[in-house]
Amino acid sequence: MSALPIDTSALETGDGPDPVFAAHRGGKMEIAATIPLADRDDLSIAYTPGVARVCSAIAAEPALFDEFTWASRTVAVVTDGTAVLGLGNIGPKAAMPVMEGKAVLFKKFGGIDAIPICLDTTDPEEIVETVVRLAPSFGGINLEDISAPRCFAVEAMLAERLDIPVFHDDQHGTAVVATAALQNAARLTGRRLADLRVVVSGAGAAGVAVTKMLLSAGVGDIAVADSRGVIHVGRDNLTPVKSELAAITNRAAITGSIEEALKGADVFIGLSAGKVPESAVATMAPDSFVFAMANPDPEVHPDVAHKYAAVVATGRSDYPNQINNVLAFPGIFRGALDVRATAITEGMKLAAAEALAAVVAGELRADHIIPSPFDPRVAPAVAAAVAAAARADGVARV
């Protein structure tokens, strides 16, 4: 497991308790009742004997389960702790603060109750079997911080076995927001997605999902680079996932390093920990876009990117144009839960990206191609688009 970049001395500062640790002490969430429990009458309604009537009704008519329990508006946030933020494989217990944070974001931005579940196994089959058995308690499953390539298999197996939405946010949340940002960057500069040549750094969960979504959105060509260079047909020792990428990307047949791919490229999208030298950024096409999303240290520092690029985005909250998954997952799940969707389709994800881009389409600037997470228009717009797409794709139950 990766070592934490801090030690317990951070619990205190020279001025007293560290504010971050103080905020996390005891956890960041709790369960709250939605009905009063002030007297015996309240108790007899909330619990026995009144609750037995509801249980009997659901037993007789299972469809009542969605209406008379919280499950249809509750999401499980599931991890095995193997790919947590930039910390790597730190295990399920150390992952819990992140999962709690994700649950809090679900509530704040989507009005959705979410329960963090940290599993003490890294075996894909065991993860799937556990989640399948827990699934009756939830209206959706948000997979989080599961390392590639296991995350692809886990999501696929769960989607096949469950009739509720399954969504790996590290893949698809990133893809939705990056696609929306690129749509608006192209709109701002008067270009078409079909005319853009994109270079993606990183072939992990986010890199694969972003690449596939951008191709679905109409991007002309994408070259994907990993630590060994550009992925292309004929390169040896490719994993099945990378072989699939090779078959659908790199129409220009570029080989070699990412520096070779960046020559004349219109867009750089960074989804890895690798650094890109300024000399390579300087070879990109005029008015390029640089989305350097490694956190906390972008692949290209914004000060460097601004020397060459027309639009710059990062994954950090202290720079403009933050590519932040919180812009996507609350609205996506809100829309899916509202229509009791049985899955998250490609059409729903593309609809989310287009709706997110449209929120600020009339107010675009180079430093404002994507909304703030605190923009109150975001989640309702994404939710409405996702619900409509779910109906169009035939996965909505209401």
Q: Which DSSP letter does residue 2 get?
A: P
CA proximity to 123, closest of 94, 80, 168 = 80
Is 244 annotated to bind a ligand? Reply is no
* SS3 state of residue 377: coil
Active-site annotation holds for 47:
yes
Is 184 annotated to bind a ligand? Reply is no
Element (H, E) at 314: strand 309-314
Token pair in block for residue 253:
């047949």
- Contact in structure between 381 and 210 (CB atoms under 8 Å): no
- Rounded to whole angstroms, the Cα distance separating 124 from 119 reads 11
- Maximal CA-CA distance, the chain: 74
Is 250 annotated to bind a ligand? Reply is no
Q: Please tell me the number of Cα atoms within 13 Å of 268 on its side-chain side.
A: 42
Annotated catalytic residue within 102, 212, 242, 349:
102
Is 393 annotated to bind a ligand? Reply is no
Q: Angle formed by the axes of helices 205-217 and 169-188, to 10°?
A: 40
Q: Provide the CA 373 distance to its chain's centre, in angstroms.
A: 13
Token pair in block for residue 84:
């947590």
Active-site annotation holds for 93:
no
Annotated catalytic residue within 47, 93, 263, 307:
47
Is 321 annotated to bind a ligand? Reply is no
Which residues fall in the annotated binding site? Answer: 144-145, 170, 295, 324
Which residues fall in the annotated binding site for a divalent metal cation? Answer: 144-145, 170
Q: Name the residues annotated as catalytic.
A: 47, 102
Which residues fall in the annotated binding site for (S)-malate? Answer: 295, 324
